[in-house]
Chains A and B, each alone.
Chain A
């Protein structure tokens, strides 16, 4: 019980702190995709498709566990918290082809990855958007 309490408390703090913050889905500037629908983002992130709608391979990037941003992202995208998303992937771990998005340690690592890979797609806070990335979908606070 203590453990659960300890784990829940920082989450609440984070969510409070992230209140009002925009999260944007970005791709490399080199990617031809200019915009994605919410469904397309979901399909890419939840492992349904491994390509962009134009057929080019898509490689979603994720944040490490227990990141406030990650939690917020999934809540806004599919209305499920990180734990549920983890459970979803765990369910698919031993059977199924779908693979969870690759985890990145930080926003910077994501950004650098985006610069290098044309197929990469990631979510970052709106405040972190740079010139090297292209916003294809914006997750506003509900």
Chain B
């Protein structure tokens, strides 16, 4: 980048143009005024010339002396300023010499009588040489113009040198130094050299640039550092986000997933697919309507709380349990933007295994290992619940206490395995008959079973018929080994809650007693509790 040439030349050129223009105008004025002045001067010179010779001319006119007159006129003509001379006496023209035509302003002086005062004796007329005068004036003006031009040129030369030295060269140096600076490389932002004693504008400019650059350098350095830090942090956060084992996603107001991490994707990806089946979060999970309600509730709550929930979902053919943590994202900035969306962050883990284990554990805790019926402990709890529910809803709870008859001989004759098989088969038959959702089937003891069913209103016939059918089911032969099967029976005591007891233990006692009554009556029969 060459600045000097341009600037230097431009300044010099401008000065030249200006100087020449001024010179020309001045010259023109000086020429015109010089011409006039010269003319006036020359005319007065001519007049003086005439006055010098006035006396002699007067004498010659007085004497009518042509010789003397000729001498005068020749003398006058020898002057460059004079083109023609006329010397005339009183009566007759004495002499005419030179060219007297085409003269604008002849200079005439009166010739006075040399001896008689106040008497005119003749006229001496000088015809100035206009062309010569003009030439003179022109020459003088030309000289002046030439001088002025030379003057101008010298001034231009020195001004150019000064401009070059004081302005262009420092500017060039500044520009060259400046060109070395690459804003992308702060290390190139070195201080520009400045004259130590410089107090001129350029020095101040350089100083200014230096301080600006210094500040800029600092800023850039700081910003780079900051950026590096930010990048590091960002990559760390990204790593956390990307590598997290927990699935993370953000939901907008419409419950659409706006951001999610790979773990999230892997949780919900159907095998063989590469994209999520839907970005609508609730749709991904089972029971989406309830989830939507929950999300709505979370959004509406003032205090941002966290909600955790285990949700079941079906991915393809697989059923998974997902543990979800919902958190409303609160804006960390001081001023909330208007109409800002409330985002919900969801962090979720696949808890299928744990859930299954939990189910298993709970199932094992609540159920009889052999028959898979409820065990007595959990059965009692269920019964309590069912009873209070029936009392609340003005319904009846039918309880059937079943005790197998002749079970011990089976154990004794065919072994425990056969006994277990009998128990299992009985349990299956019980469950088969009492398969309502609200039905409760319990293995109450060794060969004791308890069935509870909720009914709208007590109909003795119907209840007894059901009990009889159950008994008939139980009495069907049970195959205990490949060859052998056995027939067993049962004694069934039936009580109706809450008519036969408002408390469970009261009902149970009554049921037990009723069952024993059936045994006493000869086994293999159903007895309904009767109030005493």
Question: Among A42, A95, A97, A98, which residue has its beta carbon within 8 angstroms of that of B115?
Answer: A42
Query: Once the chains bind, are B116 and A42 in contact (CB under 8 Å)?
Result: yes
List B contacts of A92 (CB < 8 A). 59, 63, 65, 68
B59-75: CB near A (< 8 Å → 1, else 0) gives 11011110110010000
Residue among B68, B115, B116 with the highest chain A CB neighbour number at 10 A: B115
Number of interface residues of B (CB under 8 A): 14
Residue among A42, A77, A80, A98 with the highest chain B CB neighbour number at 10 A: A98
A53 CB → nearest B CB, Å: 16
Query: Once the chains bind, are B116 and A96 in contact (CB under 8 Å)?
Result: no
- A interface SS class: loop
Query: Once the chains bind, are B63 and A96 in contact (CB under 8 Å)?
Result: yes
Contact size class for A? 10 to 19
List A contacts of B262 (CB < 8 A). none
CA–CA, A88 and B65, complex, Å: 14
> B residues within 8 Å of A by Cβ?
56, 59-60, 62-65, 67-68, 71, 114-117
Known: A46-B62, A78-B114, A78-B115; 16 extra A-B contacts, CB below 8 A, are A39-B116, A42-B115, A42-B116, A46-B63, A48-B62, A88-B114, A91-B56, A91-B59, A92-B59, A92-B65, A92-B68, A95-B67, A96-B65, A97-B63, A97-B65, A97-B67
Question: Among B60, B63, B64, B115, which residue has its beta carbon within 8 angstroms of that of A80?
Answer: B115
A62-85: CB near B (< 8 Å → 1, else 0) gives 000000000000000111100000
B116 CB → nearest A CB, Å: 7
Query: Once the chains bind, are A48 and B64 in contact (CB under 8 Å)?
Result: yes
Query: Once the chains bind, are B68 and A88 in contact (CB under 8 Å)?
Result: no
Q: Which 7 A-B pairs have the closest CB atoms?
A: A78-B115, A96-B68, A96-B65, A95-B71, A95-B68, A98-B63, A42-B115
A95 CB → nearest B CB, Å: 5
A131 CB → nearest B CB, Å: 32
Chain B residue at minimum C-beta to C-beta distance from A45: B115
A113 CB → nearest B CB, Å: 24
List A contacts of B117 (CB < 8 A). 79
Query: Once the chains bind, are B59 and A88 in contact (CB under 8 Å)?
Result: yes
CA–CA, A48 and B64, complex, Å: 7
Query: Once the chains bind, are A46 and B114 in contact (CB under 8 Å)?
Result: yes
Chain B residue at minimum C-beta to C-beta distance from A78: B115
Query: Once the chains bind, are B56 and A48 in contact (CB under 8 Å)?
Result: no
CA–CA, A91 and B65, complex, Å: 13
List B contacts of A48 (CB < 8 A). 62-64
List B contacts of A125 (CB < 8 A). none
List B contacts of A47 (CB < 8 A). 63
10 pairs, A vs B, C-beta closer than 8 Å:
A42-B115, A42-B116, A46-B62, A48-B63, A79-B117, A92-B63, A95-B65, A95-B71, A96-B60, A96-B67
